A and B are shown apart, each in its own frame.
Chain A
Amino acid sequence: MRLVNRPLALILAAALAVAAVFVIIEVIAAAVHHSPVALPWTTWYRWASRTRWDQLVIQVWSAILIAIGAVILAIELKPPRVTRLPLRSPHDATDAAVTRRGLAKTLRAAATGIDGISAAAVTVGRRRARVTATAAARGRTAAEALRQPVTQALQERLDDMGLRHPPSLTVRVNTRSS
Chain B
Amino acid sequence: MHADRTNRTALIVFGLLVFAAGGAGITASVGGFGQAFSHRTLFGNRVSAYIGHHGWVWYAAAAVCLIIILAALYWIMVLLVSTDRADDIPIPVATHEGTTILLPAALTDALTREIGAYHGVEAVRGRIIGDADDPEIVLAVTASQTADLHALHQRIETEALAHARKALGQADLAIQLDLAVSRLRNGLIEARPVRRPGVTVAYTLQLETGGVRQWPHRAQTRWKYSGMCGGARRRPTSTWATTARPRRARRCPARASASTTSPARARRTAARPGGPGWSARASSARPGACAI
A residues near B, CB below 8 A? 1-2, 5-6, 8-10, 12-14, 16-17, 19-21, 23-24, 27-28, 30-31, 45, 48-55, 58-59, 61-73, 75-77, 84, 87, 89-99, 101-103, 105-106, 108-109, 112, 160-162
Asked if A30 and B180 sit within 8 Å, CB to CB, the answer is: no
Asked if B76 and A10 sit within 8 Å, CB to CB, the answer is: yes
The main secondary structure of chain A at its interface with chain B is helix
B residues near A, CB below 8 A? 3-4, 6-8, 10-12, 14-26, 28-31, 37-43, 58-59, 61-62, 65-66, 68-69, 72-73, 75-76, 79-80, 143, 145-146, 148-150, 153-154, 157-158, 161, 172-183, 185
**Residue from B3, B7, B12, B24 having most chain A Cβ neighbours under 10 A:** B7
A71 to B15, CA, bound (A): 8
4 nearest interchain CB pairs?
Answer: A69-B19, A65-B22, A72-B15, A62-B25
Q: Which of B15, B154, B176 sits near A76, CB closer than 8 Å?
A: B15
A112 to B186, CA, bound (A): 11
Asked if A10 and B79 sit within 8 Å, CB to CB, the answer is: yes
Chain A minimum-CB-distance residue to B48: A48
Residues of A within 8 A of B12 (CB): 72-73, 76-77
A14 to B80, CA, bound (A): 12
B41 → chain A, closest Cβ, in Å?
6
B66 → chain A, closest Cβ, in Å?
7
Q: 8 other contacts beyond A23-B61, A49-B43, A103-B181, with CB at 8 A cut-off?
A: A9-B3, A68-B18, A70-B19, A72-B14, A90-B158, A99-B179, A109-B146, A160-B149
CB within 8 Å for A161 and B41 given contacts A13-B76, A13-B79, A62-B22: no
A21 to B68, CA, bound (A): 9
Residues of B within 8 A of A45 (CB): 43
Residues of A within 8 A of B4 (CB): 2, 5-6
Residues of A within 8 A of B148 (CB): 160
Residues of A within 8 A of B16 (CB): 69, 73
A44 → chain B, closest Cβ, in Å?
10
A95 to B139, CA, bound (A): 10
CB within 8 Å for A63 and B22 given contacts A6-B7, A24-B62, A24-B66: yes
Q: Which of B23, B143, B179 sits near A62, CB closer than 8 Å?
A: B23
Q: Which of B38, B41, B59, B179 sits near A48, CB closer than 8 Å?
A: B41
How many A-B Cβ pairs are below 8 Å?
A: 226
B39 → chain A, closest Cβ, in Å?
6
A16 to B20, CA, bound (A): 18
Asked if B157 and A90 sit within 8 Å, CB to CB, the answer is: yes
A59 to B61, CA, bound (A): 27
Residues of B within 8 A of A91 (CB): 157, 161, 175
A52 to B173, CA, bound (A): 62
Q: Which of A49, A53, A73 sits near B38, CB closer than 8 Å?
A: A53
Asked if A76 and B22 sit within 8 Å, CB to CB, the answer is: no
A74 → chain B, closest Cβ, in Å?
9
**14 pairs from A and B in contact (CB 8 Å cutoff):** A6-B4, A9-B75, A21-B69, A49-B42, A53-B38, A54-B29, A65-B21, A67-B22, A69-B16, A71-B15, A76-B15, A93-B173, A102-B149, A105-B183
Asked if B157 and A58 sit within 8 Å, CB to CB, the answer is: no
Chain B minimum-CB-distance residue to A23: B65
A12 to B25, CA, bound (A): 22
Asked if A96 and B66 sit within 8 Å, CB to CB, the answer is: no
B158 → chain A, closest Cβ, in Å?
7
Asked if A65 and B179 sit within 8 Å, CB to CB, the answer is: no
Chain B minimum-CB-distance residue to A73: B15
Q: Which of A6, A63, A68, A109 sits near B185, CB closer than 8 Å?
A: A109
**Residue from A12, A53, A58, A97 having most chain B Cβ neighbours under 10 A:** A53
Q: Which of A24, A52, A89, A98 sits near B149, CB closer than 8 Å?
A: A98
